[in-house]
Structure 1
């Protein structure tokens, strides 16, 4: 069986290595007793000269078997055509595939990485021993992501595959928060386009990274473009320029290239060292190359043992850079051989070796395609070889740092790797320190950003009508943070947390309540205790002088009740200080309401007693029978009982409870006692207001009654103070929050209580202590 092969070979050294790898693989297979026994593989080599016209002519020659192309005609002058192994560039490979698939010939490429040819529906007979550029795009994006390069330019040739690669790269860059500063395409036939691109590159100094999406053959003018540009160039292939071009490149650039991993095949190296070169086609350049392998400076792993009698003016230096690259060619030949072996050994073709080969040719192309899809074997390097769902081999990449030294010298350093089939975290590896950065870069690794990074505490604000990676940094709003650089949005803190001053972390909100330790709390506590002591002293004075006329006047027992209730009012204000607890919240408002209702009802009872006492002294007055203590106690008890019912309804329906107020004060949590039912709260206050109003009106109307020790005047003033305090309390209470609201409430309790105590009892104490002559029955009788 003969395998015809389309194989472009020019005088490029790397292509000559591919040629030798192809011949070496065929020789090994033909000498193998296990693979295709008793069958000899043959091949035809065709030169395309990197020209589409010659490539098309070679394809027609393969299909027709004639140098004169006659479509749909086959001149069978040799063995059966099994498959096409080609090393054409992506565009030519795609064009040739349209021709080969008409005849169902499998096409195996060892160079083309075209994205477009991954479509197995459009290219059903296309295989390749190199990975698709789709993986290469992912590798380039991983490289940009690793260094944080978000502001890049893309230069590409104007072929369809490169345009598709631009689209994938652009989408991947944008998904990772980057953007493309420019996308420019060029044609090798138009040198003016390259001049335009050079101007764009030089006029945009902020662009530090440029991606090259083109094959090497289309980068003829690239050295001129890279000259003194001071950029980082990322190429999808190794860049190999002429010596003249290399001499123009300097240390201002950094070149990072992705290259398929090169693996040296021992049998191939042995073939180069031992092959009889007289059996191979040769010309002057190839003779120079073979002579270079005899040089004493050649490394031992490839040097030939020979004596050179050839007299040449120049000898090519020994070069081993491309030995490993030919692994793709080696795998292509062996893949085809194993597919042929599986097909013949399967018994699907009912033939013997003596049967005429033309019958085999009736089945070969489409039968071979079936076995080629499922081929699976281990090559000479003990690697698993099989085609994935896109009919390509799973191969990884090396990331190479190309350094062009003076006088055209070139240094290649492997600085990383990319394996798209490895687990996450192991797929991309790079050694930053091994990279030789351009001399113009002041920072290593260089930064490639349209805008400086936003530090934690700030978020990005995209500039209007500019790419997404061009932005301004604005601080996070209050209550929000960003704990990483370059965040698109700030994160809200939890409800019980707040942002710190730098807005880069959430801290617990400050808990605020009126405590005993702070100045305000200490002042209110002191005033409450002070007034309570004054109240206790007054109570002691009244008890001590209980039998004197001034104490006995206006019902001594009611006076005791009033003084004690005012004392409780002073002490209940202490429950408003300190951290609110559930029981405290219930007790403080209800206790306050009850004690004030007793105080006001006692004052009302006193006032009514004064009025009734005056009118009862008149002749024939019917009020005389109502005189006595029962009416006063009835008033106090009924009013207090009514207030008690209101408080019980409040407690059992919607009682006060501790409440964490997180909205009223920025960055703080106010611990308050929520009133529960505002209706109940205002009903309690309203009833107190009602009692105070009745007491004030009654006392005001009876203030001028002619009686000694008449309390009506004092009660009028005390009610005036009381009403003034609580009328101003309501708007003040509603306009404050937190501890200041509590302080207002405490102040209202103490001020109104002090008003009652001072206006009603202080004048009597002054008489008892300072004017004892007025505290006598004689004085009382005299004034009556």
Structure 2
């Protein structure tokens, strides 16, 4: 509303002037603002706006007479030094033969009294001029100023730039930081030598990140500076996952009840760090309340607007604000400024009332009342060197911490360099229409804006000055720390720097050893809602709480997190698994049935005992090969059966150990062929038993000619050859191969043999099963033969064991994971092999070794006779 009002007043002023032209043909100044100022004539005039006074006092309105103009109170020596810095810079430029030769710069400087209305009046006076009249039908002419250095704060700069930007009057601010002023569409001619709040916010967030402060409080003033800075700060904090414990606005009217409420919020919060975006005047009531309530244990983070304010450097604030961290604009050095400030004398020009006010505040003189001769004599002593300003202890003569004044210095030089580039233009190569150049005599402010955008120079202090496309300077901040001094006050020390490099981005450099902390531990405080989640865990946000408040959950099996505060756990690759701490992926344990483990040792031992027993049986049968019991049971097939059982036992060794391609291919082939050879021998033995029985009867005398030795061997060979063909086809089309299986146990790699073709493996087992069933049926049918042919009973029992084992094998194999499936298969092989060995050969060995009297033809035939 204020900005709109002043624009309206300004346009109304122009309309009145236009009406005056229509009446008299001459432009008349319709009114004059009473402003404190400093002046120096020159060929080209620069304007300046400074807050030389803290307060503006408006007279009472009677509505009967014209009100008196407002007047300013409480002289600010620091700001007056800044105004004098502009005068010094112009004086230095005028003495420099290489910069603006043959052109003398002048200045018009005004006091804004820290009031928007006063600042706007001063800006209008600079832009429109103060001449009473000039004869020009269009009210146009050489502009009173070609550029303005100022204003000191954001709100007046917004108002002034909104109006003067319409006429492209270049404005170079040395203290306005609102990021909103970087909008080139709204403020096309605004520049600044101070970093914007956007970078100030980045710098403060860098400090928070450096110390790990993720849980902070925010306090900001209810003005353009505080509101825009707070908005930018909140957005930047969200980017990095930081959270606000509270966010409070300092009231514009310093309402005591609101201040107490904010104090209650700060004291109740668990946040140890409080960030404050505010000017010194806004913040003072809150800090007074901090002292009254004796609130300690907080780490204050000061924005540049109050980080260097001397108001808080008194012993009264020491216990509460020492240790404060803040950022401030770059401190610079200006050679010759100190001597220039000491040579200041009151001017005879009555318009330079800013100088008169300075002397009145310095020496208590009054140039309008009192004893003028005495006052004049005192001033004369100072000007003649009898008294020196250096003997006065005031901020005016202190040039040890030039921050804002240094930005004023850079702003003046930026305008001077732009003007210098403008006059160096060669006709026909200019940047304006028709490649024309600007005429210094008829110079328009908008023409200077073009050159100001391209300014590029280095100050005597070594700082580079240029503007980006938004009119912002390359940003650099000093990081400050408030430390106690020997006199009980607060001293400011520079402990770091935040620099915006073109290539490196925002870089923070801190000297931690130099920082003073206002805590018992003398270390940085912890300010987090939740402690960081260690590696091996992930963050789980608490419902209804900020993202900084979370729980730490352990990663699941097979997942890891190897960083602090991981949002998600990472799944390990297929061949890796999480370690115990869940912070590393380690190779999975490879599992297979090995010779070293107890199970493998047991099965290996059993598989080796089997051939030994078979060998013993073979020895027994060989030694007693001529006895009736060996000859009656077909000794040739018995020896072939024992050999095949040896192979069945030994094939188990191919199932133990790490699978290789050759073991995978051989294990089932050898297993299948061995068992077919074994079952084929048993089947032929059964058929021979039946044929012998039938040949003993009159109707079957010719039966044995079909079951001679040659036929027996050929039958076994043919039946075994069929299995060999099945195995050959299987291995040639879809051979079993080693396979790392992750499906059985996720934490392990089961090294197994993939069967390749399910059909091939099924045919192999199915063929064995078919022979076993046929043998079982034939043996079962021959179970009631006479005792001397009772081997059929043993075959029946052996086939019953064999079929039972392999029928039970199928569900056990399917349900067993990993290496235990291999163990089940081995157990089935051993169980069926031992079953055949014991059921068929144990009774014969029992008679041969323990009852040799029964191993005679007479004994065998005798049993038969007795039965008859």
TM-score (norm 2): 0.82
Q: 2:631: which partner in 1?
A: 552
User: Which of the residues 333, 354, 358 maps onto 1:264?
Assistant: 333
Q: 1:286: which partner in 2?
A: 362
Q: 2:263: which partner in 1?
A: 198
1:275 deviation in Å? 4.8
State the distance in 2 between where 1:69 and 1:430 align: 58
- Pairwise mapping of residues 83-122 of structure 1 onto structure 2 (< 5 A)? 83-122=147-186
1:776 deviation in Å? 2.3
- Pairwise mapping of residues 212-611 of structure 1 onto structure 2 (< 5 A)? 212-224=276-288, 226-227=290-291, 228-237=295-304, 238-242=307-311, 247-251=316-320, 254-276=323-345, 280-281=355-356, 282-287=358-363, 308=387, 316=394, 319-346=398-425, 362-403=442-483, 409-421=489-501, 423-424=503-504, 427-439=507-519, 442=521, 444-611=523-690
Q: 1:743: which partner in 2?
A: 823
1:607 deviation in Å? 0.7
1:319 deviation in Å? 3.8
Q: Which moved more, 1:676-685 or 1:713-722?
A: 676-685
Contact 2:203 2:506 (C-alpha < 8 Å) held by counterparts = no
Change (3 A) 1:251 1:120: same
Contact 2:313 2:489 (C-alpha < 8 Å) held by counterparts = no
Change (3 A) 1:142 1:513: same
Contact 1:5 1:43 (C-alpha < 8 Å) held by counterparts = yes
Q: Which moved more, 1:189-198 or 1:738-747?
A: 189-198
1:668 deviation in Å? 1.6
- Confirm or deny that 1:753 pairs with 2:818: no
Contact 1:401 1:413 (C-alpha < 8 Å) held by counterparts = yes
Q: 2:36: which partner in 1?
A: none
State the distance in 1 between where 2:791 and 2:150 align: 122
State the distance in 2 between where 1:246 and 1:362 align: 57
State the distance in 1 between where 2:647 and 2:282 align: 99
1:583 deviation in Å? 0.4
State the distance in 2 between where 1:185 and 1:73 align: 52
- Confirm or deny that 1:134 pairs with 2:190: no
- SS of equivalent residue, structure 2 residue 48: coil
Q: 1:301: which partner in 2?
A: none
- SS of equivalent residue, structure 2 residue 149: strand
- Pairwise mapping of residues 50-89 of structure 1 onto structure 2 (< 5 A)? 50-66=114-130, 80-89=144-153
TM-score (norm 1): 0.91
- Confirm or deny that 1:719 pairs with 2:795: no
Q: Which moved more, 1:324-333 or 1:216-225?
A: 216-225
1:115 deviation in Å? 0.4
1:734 deviation in Å? 0.9
Residues 397-440 of structure 1 deviation map (CA, whole Å, 9 limit, x = unaligned): 11001235697611111111100126548821112222111225
- SS of equivalent residue, structure 1 residue 24: helix
Residues 284-308 of structure 1 deviation map (CA, whole Å, 9 limit, x = unaligned): 333489xxxxxxxxxxxxxx99654
Contact 2:516 2:522 (C-alpha < 8 Å) held by counterparts = no
User: Which of the residues 189, 212, 227 maps onto 2:253?
Assistant: 189
Aligned length: 759
Q: Which moved more, 1:33-42 or 1:563-572?
A: 33-42
1:759 deviation in Å? 0.9
Contact 1:65 1:74 (C-alpha < 8 Å) held by counterparts = no
Q: 1:669: which partner in 2?
A: 749
State the distance in 2 between where 1:606 and 1:345 align: 122
Change (3 A) 1:288 1:329: farther
- SS of equivalent residue, structure 1 residue 487: coil
State the distance in 2 between where 1:729 and 1:385 align: 87
Change (3 A) 1:288 1:752: farther
Q: Which moved more, 1:443-452 or 1:251-260?
A: 251-260
Show structure 2 runs of 5+ residues with no match.
Answer: 1-42, 54-74, 349-354, 366-382, 430-437
Residues 746-776 of structure 1 deviation map (CA, whole Å, 9 limit, x = unaligned): 1111111111111111111121122222222
- SS of equivalent residue, structure 2 residue 501: coil
1:666 deviation in Å? 4.0
- SS of equivalent residue, structure 2 residue 539: strand
Q: 2:45: which partner in 1?
A: 3
Contact 1:514 1:739 (C-alpha < 8 Å) held by counterparts = yes
Residues 454-488 of structure 1 deviation map (CA, whole Å, 9 limit, x = unaligned): 11111111001111110001111011111121111
State the distance in 2 between where 1:484 and 1:640 align: 63
- Pairwise mapping of residues 171-182 of structure 1 onto structure 2 (< 5 A)? 171-182=235-246
- Confirm or deny that 1:167 pairs with 2:231: yes
Contact 1:562 1:602 (C-alpha < 8 Å) held by counterparts = yes
Contact 2:539 2:553 (C-alpha < 8 Å) held by counterparts = yes
Q: Which moved more, 1:36-45 or 1:708-717?
A: 36-45
Q: 2:93: which partner in 1?
A: 29
State the distance in 2 between where 1:365 and 1:559 align: 121
Contact 2:49 2:122 (C-alpha < 8 Å) held by counterparts = no
Q: 2:210: which partner in 1?
A: 146
1:131 deviation in Å? 1.8
Contact 2:736 2:757 (C-alpha < 8 Å) held by counterparts = yes
State the distance in 2 between where 1:674 and 1:69 align: 105
- SS of equivalent residue, structure 2 residue 543: coil
- Confirm or deny that 1:210 pairs with 2:274: yes
1:540 deviation in Å? 1.4
1:249 deviation in Å? 4.3
Contact 1:509 1:668 (C-alpha < 8 Å) held by counterparts = yes
